[in-house]
A and B are shown apart, each in its own frame.
Chain A
């Protein structure tokens, strides 16, 4: 009886249990991994994972495309850096204020550009990234120009600071788990289904009562805010930021994380963020050709498995299983 109840509980709350399980496992990592360089790689994965989760809502679920999310990432980083150094604002307040600013920017960008689809939307977001990147490089007085900004204090909240790799690890992966929970909640709601529906067929989604235009704009803004918060945490974690981190190649890498992990697979985004963050270290002497290699991976996946590695494999398996099952039971497919 209790076993049955436990099984029912596990069945009903499997998503929540998976998040709790992963959180516990991640919480133990610093106890076994003392190497600060390796923790540093994990921390970068965490920063990227937050962005990839938000981007997956926009690209994977709502079926849109962005080649400009590194710009929101950069705006978050620069916003927090400037507000905490030049204006001595507390990091949390700076992060929130910056996120609000980025949300407004995304809204202003999204209202005209989200009427576009496919290549046109890709070009519009790419153009936005180039403009923002130029702003970081050229506006010396505020952004420090090509050499960027230094002396950004570690993140702190209510008097608790997060200096060093271990504390930063808990802060960043705490943020990842919050982002993951929020995203998992969204996709299991009517709003999430509406996004999935409009990704497949905007006309039919609208006929079901989905406000297609609003949905696209809000999810774009939300994904920009995720990138902004990741940028703020990133700036406080490294203490130094330079414009190169937020160029168009960074945007392509972010998109690649979503695509490799699988469009619409939030767990996959974590794997994609890990893979793309670690890949340059695995390439060794080939690292100089990183952009080319990343580009080839992206083109390759989009040609063969356009919904991403994980999601397409899973989709194929589902169809096969469904057909195979009906063949076994003799029912027509």
Chain B
């Protein structure tokens, strides 16, 4: 039985350690993301959640530990190589391309599939033209899914905050990633917009995408996650099904203290 469960793991993180100066941001963190499931990474500010995502996507180099994705070790790979393996992400503090149009932003999410031969691009070969048409259709479809079709030609910088958040999701989702890392996708959104993102997350999960979700919004985490990993001070202090984690005294003490009063 345990073997069968292990087979579905698409990402296996173990012993992940990262220090900034002398300060430990991650110490010996390990968790597993299972295929087609939503794994939430929660914890108070400074718990190491974003550091973990940054290590996974190659933006930060971990001091120690291993991150095996689909049988491949990720540590040491540069960010663009990791992206090309089928790992997409969003950023906590929006990192859109404000001067490019909304459609172009989403097309940038397809960079891994667009090819990077300058020669082919200079000559605009028939193969490239064909591919560009296909990518454009995929981007338009993603805009439709994420409710941004009407603003396809807007400069991304002119969008309202909620639209920008969904544009980041669209840009990460459009490439059909095997693993999608969402860093606080609903931070700063009102309840209505948050619900809209929750619907999109469920929709992506149904579409077969494996998600790792970093989020502070407990209602969202509890409603969309299959598995929850709790970090505090760079350590994993608990993990389990949302309901179990919610009742775990260690977690309540570290993080959900206030919620336990209202729960």
Contact = CB atoms under 8 A, between A and B. Distances in A.
B121 interface: yes
Interface residues of A, number: 38
A143 to B, nearest CB: 32
B47 interface: no
A209 B175 CA distance: 10
Interface in B62-103: 78-80, 83-84, 88-89, 91, 95-100
Contacts of B108: 193-194, 196-197, 205, 208, 210
B20 interface: no
A121 B110 CA distance: 29
A259 B58 CA distance: 35
Interface string B99-143: 110001001111111111110111110001001100100000000
Given A188-B132, A189-B128, A190-B121, A210 B95 contact: no
Interface of B: 57-59, 78-80, 83-84, 88-89, 91, 95-100, 104, 107-118, 120-124, 128, 131-132, 135, 150-151, 153-155, 157-158, 160, 171, 175
Contacts of A323: 158
14 contacts: A185-B124, A189-B121, A189-B132, A190-B110, A190-B135, A193-B104, A201-B96, A203-B59, A207-B89, A210-B80, A218-B118, A318-B155, A319-B158, A333-B160
Interface string A167-210: 00000000000000010011011111110110011011111111
A133 B158 CA distance: 45
Which one of A188, A193, A196, A219 has the greatest number of beta carbons of chain B within 10 Å? A193
Contacts of A50: none
Contacts of A192: 121
B31 to A, nearest CB: 21
Most chain A CB atoms below 10 A, which of B108, B109, B124: B108
Contact of A322 (B89, B91, B115, B154): B154
A149 to B, nearest CB: 31
B124 to A, nearest CB: 4
Nearest to B123: A185
Nearest to A222: B118
Contacts of A212: 80
B111 A315 contact: no
B97 A189 contact: no
Interface of A: 182, 185-186, 188-194, 196-197, 200-201, 203-212, 214-215, 218-219, 222, 307, 315, 318-319, 322-323, 331-333
Nearest to A215: B116
A206 B98 contact: no
Contacts of A215: 116
Contacts of A222: 118
A207 B115 contact: no
Contact of B114 (A191, A307, A318): A191
A331 to B, nearest CB: 7
Contacts of B84: 209
A299 B165 CA distance: 36
A206 to B, nearest CB: 4
Given A194-B108, A323-B158, 9 more contacts: A189-B124, A190-B131, A196-B100, A204-B96, A206-B59, A207-B57, A208-B88, A209-B112, A209-B175
Contact of B116 (A196, A204, A211, A319): A211
Given A197-B111, A319-B155, A185 B79 contact: no
Nearest to A206: B79
B182 to A, nearest CB: 13
Contacts of A205: 108, 111
A313 to B, nearest CB: 13
Nearest to B112: A209
Given A206-B80, A209-B84, A191 B116 contact: yes
A193 B114 contact: yes
Across the A-B interface, the 10 shortest Cβ-Cβ residue pairs:
A190-B114, A209-B112, A209-B83, A189-B121, A204-B95, A206-B79, A185-B124, A200-B97, A191-B121, A209-B111
A197 to B, nearest CB: 5
A223 to B, nearest CB: 12
Nearest to A182: B122
Given A190-B116, A322-B158, A207 B83 contact: yes
